[in-house]
Chain A
Amino acid sequence: MTRVGELEGAVMAVLWDAKDGATGREVLDALPGPALAITTVLTVLDRLQRKELVRREREGRAHRYFAARSREEFLGGLMADALDRSADRGAVLTRFLGQMPEEDTDRLRDLLRRRRR
């Protein structure tokens, strides 16, 4: 993974642990390793916010940042894309099992859920 990717991952980890979100300063303090510049952290937070991984609320003159979803919810979203076929999505992903009609998708999900046991 690239350095940028690692940093984004580290910032997300901080936000996932912060139940009430965190300001840029709080994220900076919570990050492991040598201290970074606050501008670096804010740039990363801004990029994450534009990717819709993070949302923010105004708090005075600063922002409080929150992970847009929990780790589990994000992962669930990826799996839903991989298994699902909603009317709009069509060619978003190409899947090994190909495009399936909706009824088959539901049955497949049941089967996979049962297989997981």
Chain B
Amino acid sequence: MEHPAAYWVEAGLCAVLALALAAPIPAALSRTRWPRTAPAAALALWQGIGLAGGMALLTTELTVAAAGSDQHGHWRAAVPALVRASVFRPADVSVTTGCGLGALVLTAAWLTGVLIRSTQRVLSARRAHRAVLDLLSETAPPPVPSAIRVLRHPDPVAYTVPGLRPRVVLSHGAIDALTPTELGAVLAHEQAHLDQHHDLVVQPFLAWRNSFPFLPTARRSLSTVERLTEYLADDRARAERDALGTALETLGHESAGIADRRARLARSAPTRSVPVTALGALAGVAIALVPPLLLVLVG
């Protein structure tokens, strides 16, 4: 299609998609119950939604720019011609096109900038924590595996420092408060966080929340995704799920998150089948591809 109206229709569709992905779709997904039984599938779907949101925004701006220009015809020719025209003959560019391209560049720069800055902050905080941890921590006493680091503190904590040089950490308070089986369950949970690289899965949503701090769905999406990674780590210790439940009871206190996880552990095993997870991944990829496909198919 070569009619300029086609680009405006596309821009409209992309804008609607971007708005839907910004608020109502994530809000609706956060309210559903099926992720509790298929957290891996849900996480894959969330990654797709996150990616699609950014791409929909960028594609909207690109198609607006194209709609306001005199470049029509197939997008593969139109878009590069549009960019060349703006760079080499800026005076000929319409206001619409100028705004569209300007918005596109600013949005891309901003999204990239926030992602890089938030990643840098996390990495440097981790490096600082690791430096002090390596200085102050001790080797774990048997029967805890010796690779586990232990802090000499009576408050019970159990955590990992993710990254290229990961650490799993307990405090003396945690070792004293838990039975050996409970400790094993907690350590399996922590190791799952490292093995499945949950820090990487969560990072884009942290950046999204930092990009749009005023957007309630950005905050809720972050906590939903974090909760899903807790479900996945809990599932790794499912063999000792009673011990995990009592450990949660001992170390935690009654909050919505802890009660939710304990209730989930008490129920039947989640759907961990490969087809379901693959379906979630496929759905995520499909959503992420919609904006560029809109551009390709309609243009």
Binding site for B on A (CB under 8 A): 1, 5, 8-9, 12, 51-53, 71, 74-75, 77-79, 81-83, 88-101, 104, 107-108, 111-113, 116
Contact = CB atoms under 8 A, between A and B. Distances in A.
Interface string B231-247: 00100000000000001
Nearest to B139: A1
Interface string B122-133: 100110110111
Given A91-B199, A96-B189, A83 B131 contact: no
Contacts of A97: 158, 248, 251-252, 257-258
Contact of B255 (A90, A100, A113): A100
B198 interface: yes
24 contacts: A5-B134, A51-B128, A52-B128, A74-B135, A75-B152, A78-B132, A82-B159, A82-B169, A88-B121, A91-B162, A92-B126, A92-B129, A93-B129, A93-B161, A94-B159, A94-B162, A94-B194, A96-B186, A96-B190, A96-B247, A97-B252, A99-B227, A108-B252, A108-B253
Chain B CB count within 10 A is highest, among A89, A92, A100, for A92
Contacts of A92: 122, 125-126, 129, 161
A96 B160 CA distance: 8
Contacts of A111: 253
Nearest to A50: B131
Interface of B: 118, 121-122, 125-126, 128-129, 131-136, 139, 151-162, 169, 171, 173, 186, 189-190, 193-194, 198-199, 202-203, 206, 209, 222-223, 226-227, 229-230, 233, 247-248, 251-253, 255, 257-258, 261
A98 B151 CA distance: 19
B122 A116 contact: no
Nearest to B231: A98
A78 B226 contact: no
Contacts of A52: 128, 131
Given A78-B133, A93-B129, A112-B155, 20 more contacts: A5-B134, A9-B135, A71-B136, A75-B152, A75-B153, A78-B132, A78-B151, A79-B171, A82-B159, A82-B169, A83-B157, A89-B122, A93-B126, A94-B193, A94-B198, A94-B233, A96-B157, A97-B252, A104-B255, A113-B155
A91 B198 CA distance: 9
B131 A53 contact: yes
Nearest to A71: B136
A93 B134 CA distance: 15
B122 A79 contact: no
A38 B120 CA distance: 35
B189 to A, nearest CB: 6
Given A97-B252, A98-B227, A90 B132 contact: no
A99 B226 contact: yes
Closest 9 CB pairs of A and B: A96-B158, A94-B193, A82-B157, A51-B131, A98-B230, A95-B159, A90-B206, A99-B226, A104-B255
A104 B253 CA distance: 9
B156 A112 contact: yes
Contacts of B230: 98
A113 B161 CA distance: 24
Contacts of B255: 100, 104, 107-108
Nearest to B227: A98
A30 to B, nearest CB: 18
A112 B154 CA distance: 9
B194 to A, nearest CB: 8
Contacts of A101: 223
A9 B137 CA distance: 11
A93 B223 contact: no
Contacts of A78: 129, 132-133, 136, 151
B131 A89 contact: no
A109 to B, nearest CB: 8
